[in-house]
């Protein structure tokens, strides 16, 4: 179960989608994103690639693939998916990797 303090409401998301310092990560598959669209300013990192993207990928690789700087462990990450299950898993992985926000 995700700590309710770590869950954003729809209204909260409307406020952050245009804040470039927030890193909004869509953890759905590329096919899902293609068929339904995505939140503006979000990047697509499927759940099974989250750990590699955050830890293994170099700064240069990350920027080349996602057109934004690689987040540091103190940057605010916001994960989303269709139902919340995958985003909860992504949050758990990020917390275990040392991301705090």
Tell me yes or no: is domain 4-96 CATH 3.40.250.10. Answer: yes
- Whether 83 contacts 36, CB under 8 Å: no
pLDDT surpassing 80 at residue 48: yes
Statement: residue 15 has pLDDT above 70: yes
Cα 32 from chain centroid (whole Å): 15
For 80-101, the pLDDT digits (tens) are 998 889 999 999 999 999 998 8
The pLDDT of residue 96: 92
Told to judge if 17 belongs to the known catalytic residues of this protein, a careful annotator would answer no
The catalytic position among 27, 47, 81, 94 is 81
Whether 2 shows a pLDDT value over 80: the answer reads: no
pLDDT at site 58: 94
């Amino acid at each position: 179960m995700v700590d309710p303090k770590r869950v954003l409401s729809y209204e909260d998301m409307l406020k952050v989608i245009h804040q470039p310092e927030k890193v909004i990560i869509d953890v759905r598959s590329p096919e899902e994103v293609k068929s339904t669209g995505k939140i503006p300013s979000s990047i697509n990192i499927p759940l099974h690639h989250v750990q590699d993207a955050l830890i293994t990928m170099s700064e240069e690789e990350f920027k080349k693939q996602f057109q934004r700087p690689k987040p540091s462990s103190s940057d605010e990450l916001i994960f989303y998916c269709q139902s919340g299950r995958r985003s909860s898993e992504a949050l758990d992985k990020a917390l275990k990797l040392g991301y705090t926000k």
